[in-house]
Amino acid sequence: MVRLLALVSWMATAAPQLPGQQTSGLATRLDQATYAALRPILEAAGRDSIPLRPLEAKALEGTAKRRPAAQIVAAVQRLAQELQQARLLLRQAAPTAPDAEGDIVAAAEAMRRGVPAEEVAALRRRVPPATSLEIPLAVLGELVQRGVPAAEARAVIEHMVNSGVPQARMVEIPSHVDVALRVGAPPITALGSALQSLGIPVPPPGPGGLGPRRPPGDRG
């Protein structure tokens, strides 16, 4: 839950920056050798429209923890690859949707937490293209990490988005799931209890239990 709130806070305060602004600021905060090794990665990311802010943050995190330059470069490269994968996934799922930095970051984080790529794509494909998925994807990752099956969690979040449930209320769901988990409820039951306690309409049951399940490739 702490990570979810941190992600929401970052998304609310982040302002777009040009690639040159990002890399020049980073150059003043890293040693020359580390920055020189990172620069090609950052420049390639800029050309590919990959968000630079998370890459900069990853580099500074490594510096703050006194990690060797090779570890910092490897971590930034790995994150750049994750963000590139997330961007391509979202674009293929909904070509007309905005190429939003927050959505890309949230998609990469969700997959890092165990959400299958096909469920991320299904969510993007089955909600209106203009809908921001920053919060829905962050909550999806939290639920999957708590043991809620990915398909059911995605279907429930899809239902909430399409039903107009405020995203500010979605943020509260993981902590309410935790309450039910602490008294021994199975994850899918805990999710149902959380939705009921928050007054969020529970979607009709599907074959997998809570919420309608659709094949990830179903575009209907």
Residue 68 neighbours by CB under 8 Å, 6+ apart = none
The number of C-alpha atoms within 13 Å of 64 and in the hemisphere containing its C-beta is 6
The per-residue pLDDT for 93 is 98
Taking the C-alpha atoms of residue 129 and residue 147, their distance in angstroms, rounded to an integer, is 28
* 3-class DSSP state of 187: helix
Taking the C-alpha atoms of residue 83 and residue 103, their distance in angstroms, rounded to an integer, is 10
Residue owning tokens 């107009």? 164
Query: pTM of the entire structure?
Result: 0.82
The per-residue pLDDT for 2 is 52
DSSP state of 145: H
- The domain spans of the chain are 2-197
The per-residue pLDDT for 90 is 98
Taking the C-alpha atoms of residue 155 and residue 137, their distance in angstroms, rounded to an integer, is 12
* 3-class DSSP state of 177: helix
pLDDT averaged over 10-residue windows placed end to end, the chain, 220 residues: 53 45 72 94 94 95 95 98 98 95 97 98 97 97 98 96 95 97 97 95 63 47
Taking the C-alpha atoms of residue 38 and residue 72, their distance in angstroms, rounded to an integer, is 9
* 3-class DSSP state of 140: helix
The per-residue pLDDT for 25 is 78
